[in-house]
Amino acid sequence: MKGKETVGFMIKTLSGMLLRCQMNFLKETGHEKLPHMHGWVIGFLYDNQDKEICQRDLEVEFSIARSTVTSIVKQMEKNGYITRVGVDRDSRLKQLKLTKKGEECHQTVIKNIRQIEEMICQDIEPEQLEIFLEVARQIRRNLIKNQGDAECCSCMSADSVEL
């Protein structure tokens, strides 16, 4: 079997291609300097607007160190995507809130995701797409199941099996 004919190589190649599509779109919309992690944080804050989200919640959600979260939050606040607001019950805590710019960025990214989904799914029959998604889910389950055997899978949890 040639390396380019392996599942892993194909996934890596597709991932890189998707990343380039996303980066091109962000460049066109003026968000080219938005690091991927900042985009994930914006999405998380947007999806959890009804909750009190603090830096600790980002540490847990993304399995990243406190110092990393602190750096991300400072940069995002400096760039105008989020703001920190005091919490009444504990003056030491700061709730993270999206700014108008952060909300607009989220809407731009969602629009991009929809456009890319349409592009990559064109000319694929719904039955083929469902087979692909089921195979992808099984690959993910296999990686999670065998995470004890390989350090590369240590970031995954059984909670995140669903795609």
Cα distances from 44 to residues 19, 102, 123, in angstroms, run 19, 11, 32
Record the tokens describing residue 10, joined without a space: 């194909």
- Percent of the chain at pLDDT exceeding 90: 57
* Per-residue pLDDT, 148: 60
Q: Does this model's pTM top 0.95?
A: no
Burial group, residue 53, by CB count within 10 angstroms (0-12, 13-18, 19+): buried
Range 88-100 average pLDDT = 90
Q: What is the pLDDT of residue 101?
A: 94
Contacts of 137 (CB under 8 A, 6+ apart): 161, 162, 163
Separation between Cα atoms, residue 41 and residue 139, nearest integer Å: 26
Averaged confidence pLDDT in the chain: 86
- Predicted local confidence at residue 149, as pLDDT: 54
Max distance between CA atoms of the chain, in angstroms, equals 61
pLDDT at 70 over 90: yes
Residue 82 has pLDDT above 80, yes or no: yes
Decide if 53 contacts 41 (C-beta within 8 A).
no
